[in-house]
Structure 1
Amino acid sequence: MKSVFDTVLGLFATPALIGLLAVFPPVVHAAETPKEIRIAVPDLSAGSQSSGGGVVDVLRSQKIFEEEFAADGIRIQWSFFKGAGPVVNEALANGQVDFAYLGDLAAIIGKANGLDTRLLSATARDVRLYLGVVPGSGIKTLADLKGKRVAVFRGTANQLSFAAALASQGLKERDLQVINLDFNASTAALAAKQIDATWGAANLIALQQRGLAELPLNTDDLKGVGSMQAVLLGTGDFVKKYPDVTARLIKAQQKAVQWLRSEEHKQDYVELVSGLSSYPQVLLQADLDNASFSRIFDPRLDPDFLAHLQAGVDLAAEQRLIRKGFKVSDWADPKYLDAALQQAPVAVAR
C-alpha cells in the first residue's frame, strides 16, 4: 500500500522535484532525549561518602547508567539526601529529580499526596528490621514497649514497618511515647540511654556488638511482618516525555540486579557497601549472613510484591499516615521492566 507521501509524489513529481528530494531527503526526527537524568536517593551512610545500599551502590560503583547514556551526551546526576524519604518527596514535588529510589512508606506518601509518579521496579523486598533496646531494660517483646520512649524516623519505611509490627501484636503508636529521630540521631540516643528503644536496620547491630544495645527481636521473628520493601519511581512527566530513555534505564539497571543476585558476589557487595557507608563489614555480614540475595533483589512487580505494597497502603491509611489510600495496581507501570526481563529473564527465588 502506498503512503500519502508516495501518492503526492506520484501526482506532482517532476525531474526537478525528484532531484531536490535526492539532495534534501525528508527529515526524520530522532526521539527526543534529555540533557541529564536526575536520580534521588536517601543517604544511608554514617560517614563522609554517600550510600543508598542495594542496587544503587552497585549502579554507581560500576557506572552502569553513565556508560549506558555516554554516547548520547546524557549526564547522570545522583543526589543523596540525609533527610531520607520526606526530603526526596520534596525534590520530586519541586521537579528537581526524575527518578527516585525509595522505601515503601515514602513512595506511598508521595503518591497519596498527589505526586505524579510511576512505580517502575521493585529494588528490595523483605528487608529485615530490628528492635533495639537499652541493655538491662527488660524489654523483650513489643508489648513491653507500652509507655516507653521509642525513636522512629517518621515518613520513612521504618515507620510503616514499625506500625505493621505493632499492629501484629494489637498495638498502636499511641500506646508508646514515639519520638521522631533520624537514623543516626536515634542510634546516638539509644547509646546514650536517652530513649528506651528504637526500630531500625543493620546499624543497630553495631550497638549490640559494643554492648550498647540489645536486639530482642526482628521482623523474621514476626514471620516477616514489618519487613521493608523498596522501589524505583519515575516522574510521570519524564516517563511520558522520554519513554525510550526510561526503557533503556530500566534495562541497564538489570546489569546491577543480575550482579547482585549472584551468590558469588555477596562478599564483594558487603565490601562495597561497607566502604561507602562506613559501616563495619562484620556488621553487614551479621545482617546478611542468612539472607537470600536472589530473593531480596528480585526486581519483578509480581502479585506478591504488589500485594505487600497494597497492604502497606491500607495500613498507612488506617494509621492515618496518609489521608486516603489508593490502588497499587493503578500506580504500577511494569511494561519497561517486563520488556527488560524478556531479554534477560529473572530467576525466581524459592
Structure 2
Amino acid sequence: MIRTRSFVALSLAALLVSGQVLADTVKEIRIAVPDISAGPTPSGAGIVDVLRDRQTLEKEFEKDGITIRWDFFKGAGPAINEALANGQEDFAYLGDFPAIIGKAGGLDTRLLSAVARNVKLYLAVQPGSGITSFETLKGKRVAIFRGTATQLSFASALAHQGLKESDFKVINLDYNAANAALAAKQIDATWSGAGVLALKARGLAELPLTTVDLGGAGSMQAVLLGRGAFVDEHPELVARLIKAQQPAIAWLRNDAHKQDYIDLVSRLASYPPAILTADAADQSLNTIFAPQLDASFIDNLQHSVDLALDAKLIRKGFDVKTWAEPRFIDAALTAAPHTADTATQTPQASR
C-alpha cells in the first residue's frame, strides 16, 4: 500500500511537472503593429511589411510548431499599450511616444532594437489659407492623433520654434479622420506623415513645412519592444526573432531596393506609389532603418522622454539606457554581418 501511494504521489508530481512544461511551451508569438493602411489590407510599413511579405518569422519558427500572429491596431499606440499591459501581445513595433508613455506609466517593456529613425512629418493646411509656418497657424484648429508618435513629434517641432501645444486649438483625430476633416475644411491644419501627400495631389492641401525644414526637429523614431515577462522567460526566442529579421532589414536598407519597397507598401497600405515615391525621394533607407541601439538613437529617445516630461505629456521621466536591452540586436548583427550580401529576395509585390 505504501509503495502504491508513493507511486501515485510520484506519478502525480510528474504529471504536474509535465503540465507545467506544456503550459510554459510557446505555441504562438503575438506581435502588435499600428495599422497605417488606408485600405482593406493592414500595413505597418517599414520592416513589418517586408517581414510579412516574405513570411520571414513564420518560416523561422514553423519547425518548432510556433505560429506568428500579427495584430494590427487602428487605435495605434494607446491600444497597443493596453494590449501589452493585459499580456495579450509579446512584441510591438511602435512609435517612440506610445512606447515612452507605456514605460513612464510602469509598463514592463524592453527596448530591443531601433526600427526607424528620423522619419519625416508634414504640416498640411487648407489651400489658400496663407498659413506658411507654425507662427501663422497660432490660434487655429490643428488635428493631432494623441497618444501616438505624431503628438510628441508635434511638441518637438513646436518647441524648436519656441511654441507649445496650448498656442493652438488641438483636436484629437486619427490620421484618416484628420485627412477627411482637412479636405472638408473642418480644420485648418494637421501634422502627419506621408498620407497628406495624397491630399496635396488632389489640390485639397498645401504642405508649407516639414521636419526637414526644421533641421530634423520633430522627426519621428520607432522601436521594437518586448513584453518584459516574455523576454525574461524566453530569451532564446527573442534572440532568434531578432536574428531572423536581419536579412530582411539588410534588404530594406539597400537604397537600390527603394522602388520595390515603395511598390510593396503601396500594395498593402493602399497608398498611391507616386505619394510614397515623393516622400522617399530625399531620404536614405539605409539611414532610416538602421536597427542598432547606438548612442545617437538612445540620446534622441532620451531627449524625447525629457521633452514629453517638460510638456507634461507624461508624469514621470526615466533613463532610456536602463530601458534598452541591446544584447539581442548586438548579437544578431555580430553573428550575421554578411546579411546585406544574402538579402536579395525581392518582395512579392514587385515580382
After TM superposition, the score normalised by the length of structure 1 is 0.89
Shift of 1:179: 0.3
Query: Within the alignment, does 1:151 sit opposite 2:143 as a pair?
Result: yes
Match of 2:256 among 255, 264, 270: 264
Shift of 1:347: 10
Distance 2:336 2:27 in 1: 28
Q: State how 1:118-133 maps to structure 2 within 5 Å.
A: 118-133=110-125
Distance 1:278 1:293 in 2: 21
Cα deviation code 1:6-50 (max 9, x no counterpart): xxxxxxxxxxxxxxxxxxxxxxx9xx7511100000000000000
Match of 1:4 in 2: none
Cα deviation code 1:208-254 (max 9, x no counterpart): 11100000010000000000000000011000100101000000111
Aligned length: 319
Distance 1:77 1:280 in 2: 28
Match of 1:290 among 277, 282, 285: 282
Match of 1:252 in 2: 244
Shift of 1:178: 0.3
Match of 1:104 in 2: 96
Match of 1:190 in 2: 182
Distance 1:220 1:253 in 2: 29
Given that 1:51 and 1:277 are in contact with CA atoms closer than 8 Å, whether structure 2 keeps it comes out as: yes
Q: Which amino acid aligns with 1:98?
A: D
3-state DSSP class of the match of 1:336? helix
Given that 1:298 and 1:346 are in contact with CA atoms closer than 8 Å, whether structure 2 keeps it comes out as: no
Match of 2:304 in 1: 312
Cα deviation code 1:59-78 (max 9, x no counterpart): 00000000000100001000
Could you say what the CA RMSD is over the residues aligned between the two structures, in angstroms?
1.5
Distance 1:331 1:303 in 2: 14
Shift of 1:145: 1.3
Distance 2:339 2:159 in 1: 33
Q: 1:227 to 1:346 in 2, by over 3 A?
A: farther
Match of 2:17 in 1: none
Match of 1:162 in 2: 154
Percent identity of the aligned residues? Answer: 65
3-state DSSP class of the match of 2:38? coil
Distance 2:151 2:220 in 1: 10
Match of 1:229 in 2: 221
Shift of 1:166: 0.4
Distance 1:198 1:260 in 2: 29
Distance 1:346 1:105 in 2: 33
Distance 1:208 1:344 in 2: 42
Match of 1:23 in 2: none
5+ residue gaps, structure 1, are: 1-28
Distance 1:188 1:180 in 2: 13
Shift of 1:343: 1.5
Query: Within the alignment, does 1:46 sit opposite 2:38 as a pair?
Result: yes
Q: State how 1:83-94 maps to structure 2 within 5 Å.
A: 83-94=75-86
After TM superposition, the score normalised by the length of structure 2 is 0.89
Shift of 1:256: 1.5
Given that 2:118 and 2:288 are in contact with CA atoms closer than 8 Å, whether structure 1 keeps it comes out as: yes
Cα deviation code 1:75-94 (max 9, x no counterpart): 10000000000000010011
Shift of 1:346: 8.7
Cα deviation code 1:249-308 (max 9, x no counterpart): 000111211110112211110000000000000000000012101000000000000000
Q: Which amino acid aligns with 2:58?
A: E
Given that 2:250 and 2:339 are in contact with CA atoms closer than 8 Å, whether structure 1 keeps it comes out as: no
Structure 1 residues 207-216 or 337-346, which shifts more?
337-346
Distance 1:265 1:246 in 2: 28
Distance 1:318 1:155 in 2: 16
Distance 2:329 2:247 in 1: 13
Query: Within the alignment, does 1:66 sit opposite 2:58 as a pair?
Result: yes
3-state DSSP class of the match of 1:79? strand
Given that 1:131 and 1:199 are in contact with CA atoms closer than 8 Å, whether structure 2 keeps it comes out as: yes
Given that 1:59 and 1:65 are in contact with CA atoms closer than 8 Å, whether structure 2 keeps it comes out as: yes
Distance 1:344 1:193 in 2: 51
Q: 1:303 to 1:147 in 2, by over 3 A?
A: same
Match of 2:67 in 1: 75
3-state DSSP class of the match of 2:245? helix
Larger Rg: 1
5+ residue gaps, structure 2, are: 1-20, 341-351
Given that 1:33 and 1:245 are in contact with CA atoms closer than 8 Å, whether structure 2 keeps it comes out as: no
Distance 1:233 1:36 in 2: 17
